[in-house]
Amino acid sequence: MSSYLCAIGTANPPHRIPQLQIADFMAGALQLDEGGTRKLRALYRVSGIGQRYTVLPDYGRANGRFEFFPNTPDLEPFPSVGQRMAEYRRHALPLSVQAAQDCLRQVPETTAASITHLITVSCTGMYAPGLDIELVAALGLPGHVQRTCVNFMGCYAAVNALKLADAFCRATPAARVLVVCTELCTLHFQKSTEEDHLVSNALFGDGSAAVLVQGRPRAAGPSLALTAFHCGLEPDGHADMAWHINNFGFEMTLSSYVPRMIQQGIGQLTARLLADLPVQLADIRAFAIHPGGRKILESIEQALGLTAHDNRFAYQVLRDYGNMSSATVLFVLRELLRTLAPADAGAPVLSFAFGPGLTLEAMLLTVAWGSEPSARKHILEHHAQAAEILPA
């Protein structure tokens, strides 16, 4: 028995702001002098990000025209957690609905009324009754849909949501699981010149991604069989990537050591993922890696012997959207899906995501094309060989 990722829908807020324009906002907000502004702009130039999306238009405006931040030179009084969560409640639902509708439009044979499970994912806001309940009404899902929330796990949370979806489908073959990852990272700008905050302010954007997972591939076009998962934990990185709630928003710790630690651990993570599968790293030509930052992507390439072309989908998403926390790896998978052809049926896809802990998540997916018998036979043969770790 297999489960299949059948469609990915995405959505972003209306405010698309060039990276260097955001740098100008940050320099003003931090009241940097000429030298500090020059260094900050250099950091933004080498980030690999061309633009980001945000629910807050302020990042593209000059002081005196802000809607969310105070129109004072130092942005005081700086917005509280409560004010930021009010913005999250206002924007998270419509963005999530857009992504979910985009997803379901791609699989006309699956209606909102047929969804059996809903999984919502977010680390940038929470409330109760929450986004999951609001989505039931907004999308017209059945009132008895089984709801699960994955909260505050960071950038790797989408992988955990897919693990849950896979388990639901294996337990109930007729299950149809809608996963919605929505992150409004830009609500949590920290007015600080500490290196961690400067880096996180330079990376994160807002977005939502929705995925349909079910026990059979879509009737036509590409699907991705969820073949295997593996989680690694690097305790030495416990303090180097963290996410804490403070008085003025959620504070990200992202030290300069993170790329090095990922580079040291990614080889072993990959080996353990593939150990009991009839797939070797040399067999894999398709990759969907969470673009936590340009240096992280380059470190993984060095560790696994990949090229920038192998990582092209991750670089594309980083350039066009920045890091959107949990939604980002799904944006990468969406770009990969768009390039697939019938000849790719049976091809393995390797995906990674990273987050607090330091947690390293890996998953192997396998391309299926439509529900044609030949494509299903190839996938089933692949899973049969891996039966020791993937019982039916």
Quick one: CA torsion of 191, 331, 42, 56, rounded to 10 degrees? -40
103 is a catalytic site residue: no
Nearest to 340 by CA among 308, 315, 365: 365
Q: How many CB atoms lie within 10 A of CB 134?
A: 18
Q: How far apart are CA 8 and CA 14, in angstroms?
A: 20
- The single residue listed with the structure tokens 């028995």 is 1
At 383, which helix (H) or strand (E)? helix 373-385
Annotated catalytic residue within 6, 103, 123, 155: 155
At 54, which helix (H) or strand (E)? strand 51-54
Nearest to 296 by CA among 90, 156, 89, 109: 156
Instruction: Kindly give, in sequence order, each residue whose CB lies less than 8 Å from that of residue 309, ignoring residues fewer than 6 positions away.
Output: none
What DSSP assignment string belongs to 167-214?
HHHHH-TT-EEEEEEEEEGGGG-----SHHHHHHHHHB-EEEEEEEEE
> Could you list the active site residues?
155
